[in-house]
Amino acid sequence: MIIIAGYTRVDPGKRDSAVEAFKGMVERARAFDGCLDFSISTDAVDPERVNLFECWRDEATLNAWRKVARGGPRGKPREVAVSLYRTDKAEKPF
């Protein structure tokens, strides 16, 4: 399983429109075979932060998605803190 998680920082006045611009990409990703979860969302407490979370069945699926992803706007965020994690196991947390 592949998890991509983290955040970017954008100008507060542009955050909501940046997230909205990725709506179609989120819908396509969630419908893509092998996507377990995909989210690009505003942060509840930080007006500059956009949270990113992706969970993929495996690396092959992620690579196939990247070939067709067609992302949102290409403006440069002020900060990017996103990492890719590999795991072989998922458990219920509670």
Task: Find, among 28, 29, 21, the residue nearest to 50 by Cα.
Answer: 21
Domain boundaries, the chain: 2-86
State what percent of residues in the chain have pLDDT above 70. Answer: 95
Question: Are 61 and 34 a contacting pair, CB within 8 Å?
Answer: yes
Confidence of residue 85 (pLDDT cuts 50, 70, 90): very high
Right CATH for 2-86 from 2.40.128.690, 3.30.70.100, 1.50.10.20, 2.40.30.10: 3.30.70.100
Q: What is the pLDDT of residue 20?
A: 93
CB atoms within 10 A of CB 15: 20
pLDDT band, very low/low/confident/very high, at 23 (cuts 50, 70, 90): very high
Which tens digits make up the pLDDT trace of 41-83? 999 999 999 999 999 999 999 999 999 987 666 667 788 999 9
| Amino acid letter, 72 | G
What is the model's pLDDT at position 92?
92
